Each structure stands twice: as structure tokens, then as C-alpha cells.
Amino acid sequence: ELKVEQNPLFLSMQEGKNYTIYCNYSTTSDRLYWYRQDPGKSLESLFVLLSNGAVKQEGRLMASLDTKARLSTLHITAAVHDLSATYFCAVDNSRGNKLVFGAGTILRVKS
């Protein structure tokens, strides 16, 4: 059974600092997705990672995938308040017909 673990679950950062969120998963998959959720809102797609070594960047966020280690990272560079949200990683199961989500990382960026 596919399990997805994120850490940390809560992250309080100072503006301007860098940090990394980790997403580990338990079975082989080469399809990983990162989403952002603002409080009380829907999920917004951030990144789609589909192969070993994939790296995607958008603004201050960069995501990578290591399928051999079953690990994805979401790196935040020089955090700003607008990045405060909950970030989820989700992994496609082996049949590619459903996603398994991590518990989410609540990110708070302090001014």
C-alpha cells in the first residue's frame, strides 16, 4: 500500500530565509505532484514531476524528484509572507488511477 509522508508538518520561517519540505513515499512511482492550499480554499497545482531527476522552478519555489530514494523536496528560497499556505505532495499509485496525499506542511512566513 502506498504511503506518503511529509515533514515537517508545521514550519514557521522568517522572511528572507531558505528552507526545504520533504516528501517521502513507500512504493515505486515516478509521478509526483505538489499543491498549495490557502486557508478554506481549494488546491492549486504547483508542480508536476514525472521522472527521476526532474526539477521544476517557479519563482521562489523549486521542486525535485529522486525516484530511487522515493523522495521529493520543495525548496523555498528567500521566503516572503505571500508563501504562507499549506503545501501538499501527492503520489500517483502504480496503476496511475489515483493520488495518495501527504498530510500537508503548514508554512507560516513571519515578517
Partner 1 sequence: DGGITQSPKYLFRKEGQNVTLSCEQNLNHDAMYWYRQDPGQGLRLIYYSQIVNDFQKGDIAEGYSVSREKKESFPLTVTSAQKNPTAFYLCASRTILQGPEQPQHFGDGTRLSIL
Which of 45, 52, 57, 94 lies at the binding interface for partner 1 (CB under 8 A)?
Answer: 45
Tell me the C-alpha to C-alpha distance, in Å, between residue 96 and each of 32, 53, 80, 86, 107.
Answer: 11, 20, 35, 25, 29
Select the span of 13-21, 39-47, 56-64, 76-84 touching partner 1 (CB under 8 A). 39-47
Spatial separation of the C-alpha atoms in residues 54 and 19, rounded to whole Å: 19
**Which CB sits closer to partner 1, 17 or 41?**
41
In terms of phi and psi (left: phi > 0; alpha: psi -120 to 50; beta: otherwise), the region of 75 is beta
As measured in angstroms, the least distance from the Cβ of 42 to partner 1 is 5
Q: Residues in the site for partner 1, rule: CB under 8 A?
A: 4, 9, 31, 33, 35, 41-45, 48, 50, 88, 90, 92, 96-104
